[in-house]
Amino acid sequence: MPITVGHDTSKTRKTLTVGDQSVAYYSIDAAEAAGLGDFSKLPAALKVVLENMLRFEDGKTVTVDDIKAFSEWATQGGKNPREIAYRPARVLMQDFTGVPAVVDLAAMRDGIKALGGDPQKINPLNPVDLVIDHSVMIDEFGNPRAFQMNVDREYERNMERYTFLKWGQTAFNNFRVVPPGTGICHQVNLEYLSQTVWTDTDQSGEQVAYPDTLVGTDSHTTMVNGAAVLGWGVGGIEAEAAMLGQPISMLIPEVVGFELTGAMMEGTTGTDLVLKVVEMLRAHGVVGKFVEFYGAGLDTLPLADRATIANMAPEYGATCGFFPIDNETLRYLRTTGREEDRIALVEAYAKENGFWRGDDYAPVYTSTLHLDMGTIVPAISGPKRPQDYVALTEAATVFGEYISGQRPEWDANQEDKAEWADEGGQLAPRTIPGDIGKHKRAKVEGEDYTIHDGTIVIASITSCTNTSNPYVMIGAGLVARKARALGLTRKPWVKTSLAPGSQVVSAYLEAAELQEDLDAIGFNLVGYGCTTCIGNSGPIQKELSDAVNKGDIIATSVLSGNRNFEGRISPDVRANYLASPPLVVAYALAGDMNVDLTKDSLGKDKDGNDVYLKDIWPTTQEVAELVEKTVTRQAFQEKYASVFEGDEKWQGVEVPQQETYDWPATSTYIQNPPYFQGMTMDTKEIENIEGAKVLALLGDMITTDHISPAGSFAETSPAGQYLVERQVPVREFNSYGSRRGNHEVMMRGTFANIRIKNEMLDGVEGGYTLGPDGKQTSIFDAAMAYQEQGTPLVIFGGEQYGAGSSRDWAAKGTNLLGVKAVIAESFERIHRSNLVGMGVIPFEFTGGDTRKSLGLKGDETVSIHGLDSVTPLAEVPATITMGDGSAKEITLKCRIDTGVEIEYIENGGVLHYVLRNLARDDQPIAAE
């Protein structure tokens, strides 16, 4: 389908000839020559957005003034927050977020039909790729059958979802599905789908070259910025709008420059580097900003390490972490099997249009940071947040401080604090490193060992973050080889797993003969998918789980992922640590977070001698030689040759060929959502909020995992009860993430994380609140009771509300519970946007007010005025009537950030806005 470009483009459109190729492109130099401004000092990341403006400038959606604003950005110290309309080239999805997006598209077809429109207008206009990677669980591990058994269970659990996705592939244009068992979406995107410079045919039939850009329904879409592809995560609702031709409304971002110098030292990994970067950028404050990496250090930084840093942009809070095109970009494209014509075009285009990082690259940044990579040391992060950086030498000590309550910023469990308080009310240390005598202990029934606080029950090589990096994966294999040779293996209580991000990883591990070493110590292949990183760690041994819970043990996990939030990895685990794959292997051998890996023995060799980490750690040269030998262009080309075909199971999935979806009434996975039912063409002005009650009073860093968990749920939970009532056995519950196509399950799962704490209640964990009758009940039941009374609801929160994953259900569930506003100290970018997209208004406190300074208890009534004439980022008055009848007048900042977002709220959400516009237009929509 041809792309549509702006109308008056003759001044900036030029032709580039590369070998036998001749392509049109939109020239930044030509824009300067046309008097539109000086763009020479713009960072490459911002030039990508500028090019987008040049290509789509039409005098309406994108104007000449929008283009000139980029020149003003450079002369105003890297700041000019002008609203612009940005159009990414394509959309990436995974199945957890993709299923509800396809559900919405199917529902929109029904909706537009009801409004008298053409269902075929509901079609992606930009290419969409959905990779099924979030559904495999680790039911089986530690044996050669694990992979096949997990795949079989995956299909048993998810056949309804896979049938639906395969229907979507046949029903919608521009929509491809990468089947289960292929890899993680971000790794498939990095290794195969992305081109760095994209080409397409425009409406005149001419080939146009432009930067490869995308948005994805997963926050770690940012990974591909390591290959100079500008992309970031959005919620499914925003992605659906982009698919349907709606531009993304955004402000021209600030760009933080992060200078890297020096080179990595012996014994350190790209993971160690990114954990330090996360800590530094979180402290600097980069929410809503681009981060661009530059400096001489990039000359020695492999693209795999760059991708690891770019991947964790959500963890450091940025929109993206971008690396400009340079020689390393070209090397990576060649190694991963891209066509030589494409590589030549990338180089020529980047140099011609100002995107190349050469020796003279010196753009203007809003602010800068600096890191000498020679100062990086081995490290982990935990126990609850990715930014909780801990040098490996301090890891055991810090863990002891955590469980003793000496790390209040990590909010040690309140019961722990009370249990270990001395008579004077001071916290008494529960342990010192190497001394587990003061830990809580528990005997594991049927086993000859006991467990204690700090026992590692999960060690998982998992996630797109590190399994895309051959240096750390080969490193993990070498640690396993050396440990095996000395007679070491995992501790019997550690559930070990290896879930690579793509089949290429298995190819080079097998070529290096390292997979059998990993197998020997328990790291057998369990599947190609996200697994432990998103909570699909599967159950631990029942007797072990019983001992953890009966003994109130602070069990731990170590994983090579990017997220370690409370309640995310496993319901049996309270402390989670992020580490490089080689360190994951080492911790599996040690089996205990109290072990100081830099000093203590990991175990005994065959002769009874102590074995230390230094005895099994590979040298940089050993790793580099094996990477050079086994990570080949041929392996990438072979593994991706049939990427969309899938195995026999996928090929055997039969689907109906029909324009609209025949919603199965008995399905507990896929249901027609209520968003568009009864919808008319009428919109209404934004209404003031009157007499709202408080559904939850929440603290700082409430993540989207807290709001809409992805993992397992109990039979006694509202979601569990819903399934039990429909005769679904507990064994078939699957996970919240897999049931995102059913709004009934997801409503019941909203604010249902087992570790969330509602400050309306006294120390209670889980999704509970006070109902209209003043009694404790589930948040879902309370919300339904308030809805029956016609009472609007609000949520109060602290700083960084909505951090973490991009999941749209955190906003959809909030909407369906009847919440009209979320009032917090600050919001993370994606979740704020998702709330607006679902018609829920985000507000921020002003003037130093917080839920604590106002003395909120949750029994208040809230009214917010001025919304019927609100403008972007306006301050509005609010009245909080306290439980005793007294009133407090405060001012709130309305985080409807742009003019088009006001229209979204007036329409009830972005999808309603798009649907009405499509229904009004009798003519087919030109593709964007």
> In the chain, what percentage of residues exceed pLDDT 90?
75
Cα 805 from chain centre: 4
- Number of separate domains in the chain: 3
Pair (811, 859) in one structural domain: yes
Is residue 574, in this structure, part of any structural domain at all?
yes
Pair (396, 480) in one structural domain: yes
**Positive or negative: CA dihedral 512, 516, 517, 518:** positive
User: CB neighbours of 211 closer than 8 A, spacing ≥ 6?
Assistant: 48, 51, 52, 89, 196, 197, 198, 228, 229, 230, 355
Is residue 915, in this structure, part of any structural domain at all?
yes
* CATH code: domain of residue 904: 3.20.19.10
Domain final residue pick, 564, 597, 618: 618
Residues 414-445: tens digit of each pLDDT = 333 222 222 222 323 333 333 444 578 899 99
pLDDT of residue 347: 98
Is residue 61, in this structure, part of any structural domain at all?
no
Cα 487 from chain centre: 39
Distances (CA, A) of 36 to 32, 33, 354, 362, 835: 5, 7, 16, 21, 36
Is residue 26, in this structure, part of any structural domain at all?
no
Pair (459, 549) in one structural domain: yes
Q: Which of 146, 111, 133 lies closest to 223 in space, CA to CA?
A: 133
Which 8-state DSSP code applies to residue 126? S
User: CB neighbours of 376 closer than 8 A, spacing ≥ 6?
Assistant: 264, 265, 268, 272, 273, 276
Is residue 146, in this structure, part of any structural domain at all?
no
Q: Which of 150, 160, 615, 599 lies closest to 397 in space, CA to CA?
A: 599
Q: Are 409 and 309 in contact (CB under 8 A)?
A: no
Q: Is 56 helix (H, G, I), strand (E, B) or coil?
A: helix
pLDDT of residue 6: 53
Copy the structure tokens of residue 597: 């890996």
Query: How far apart (Å, rounded) are the C-alpha atoms in residues 830 and 885?
Result: 37
Which 8-state DSSP code applies to residue 700? S
Q: Is 339 exposed, middle or buried (0-12, 13-18, 19+ CB in 10 A)?
A: exposed
Pair (434, 492) in one structural domain: yes
Q: Are 646 and 176 in contact (CB under 8 A)?
A: no
Which stretches in the chain have pLDDT values below 70? 1-10, 405-438, 922-928
Copy the structure tokens of residue 825: 């100290």
Pair (720, 844) in one structural domain: no
Pair (450, 551) in one structural domain: yes
User: CB neighbours of 289 closer than 8 A, spacing ≥ 6?
Assistant: 253, 254, 255, 256, 318, 319, 366
Pair (383, 514) in one structural domain: yes
Distances (CA, A) of 480 to 395, 424, 476, 500, 577: 22, 48, 6, 16, 20
Pairing of strands 21-26, 13-18: antiparallel
Q: What is the DSSP string of 733-779?
A: ---TGGGTT-HHHHHHHTT--TT-B-TTSSS-BSSEEE-TTS-EEEH
The verdict on whether omega for the bond into residue 383 sits within 30 degrees of 0, i.e. cis, is yes
Copy the structure tokens of residue 200: 């397409």
pLDDT of residue 406: 55
**Positive or negative: CA dihedral 849, 853, 856, 861:** negative
Query: How far apart (Å, rounded) are the C-alpha atoms in residues 721 and 745?
Result: 10
Domain that holds residue 731: 709-749
User: CB neighbours of 532 closer than 8 A, spacing ≥ 6?
Assistant: 138, 458, 460, 462, 463, 497, 499, 557, 559, 561, 569
Query: How far apart (Å, rounded) are the C-alpha atoms in residues 409 and 428?
Result: 17
Query: How far apart (Å, rounded) are the C-alpha atoms in residues 251 and 83?
Result: 4
Angle between helices 327-335 and 340-352 (to 10 degrees): 160
User: CB neighbours of 398 closer than 8 A, spacing ≥ 6?
Assistant: 390, 407
Domain final residue pick, 587, 618, 649: 618
Residue type present at position 38: D
Q: Is 408 helix (H, G, I), strand (E, B) or coil?
A: helix
Which 8-state DSSP code applies to residue 122? S
Angle between helices 236-243 and 95-114 (to 10 degrees): 60
Which position has the token pair 């051959």?
Answer: 470
Copy the structure tokens of residue 911: 């999808």
Distances (CA, A) of 568 to 186, 476, 526, 723, 731: 20, 24, 19, 22, 20
* CATH code: domain of residue 559: 3.30.499.10
Pair (592, 481) in one structural domain: yes
Query: How far apart (Å, rounded) are the C-alpha atoms in residues 508 and 266?
Result: 23
Which position has the token pair 């697994």?
Answer: 531
Q: Which of 116, 43, 689, 662 lies closest to 368 in space, CA to CA?
A: 43
Classify residue 262 as left (phi > 0), alpha (psi -120 to 50) or beta: left
Which 8-state DSSP code applies to residue 374? G
Distances (CA, A) of 51 to 67, 230, 523: 9, 12, 46
Neighbours of 904 (CB within 10 A): 26
Pair (745, 837) in one structural domain: no
Query: How far apart (Å, rounded) are the C-alpha atoms in residues 786 and 789?
Result: 5
Query: How far apart (Å, rounded) are the C-alpha atoms in residues 499 and 531?
Result: 7
Is residue 257, in this structure, part of any structural domain at all?
no
Question: Considering all CA atoms of the chain, what is the largest pairwise distance in Å, rounded to the nearest integer?
Answer: 83
Q: Are 821 and 866 in contact (CB under 8 A)?
A: no
Pair (429, 514) in one structural domain: yes
Q: Is 682 exposed, middle or buried (0-12, 13-18, 19+ CB in 10 A)?
A: exposed
Copy the structure tokens of residue 463: 């996630």
Pair (455, 486) in one structural domain: yes
Query: How far apart (Å, rounded) are the C-alpha atoms in residues 312 and 307?
Result: 9
Copy the structure tokens of residue 818: 């009847």
Pair (744, 809) in one structural domain: no
Is residue 265, in this structure, part of any structural domain at all?
no
Is residue 277, in this structure, part of any structural domain at all?
no
Query: How far apart (Å, rounded) are the C-alpha atoms in residues 649 and 162?
Result: 11
Cα 583 from chain centre: 23
Q: Which of 497, 722, 649, 164 lies closest to 736 in space, CA to CA?
A: 722
Query: How far apart (Å, rounded) are the C-alpha atoms in residues 903 and 513?
Result: 58
pLDDT of residue 920: 84
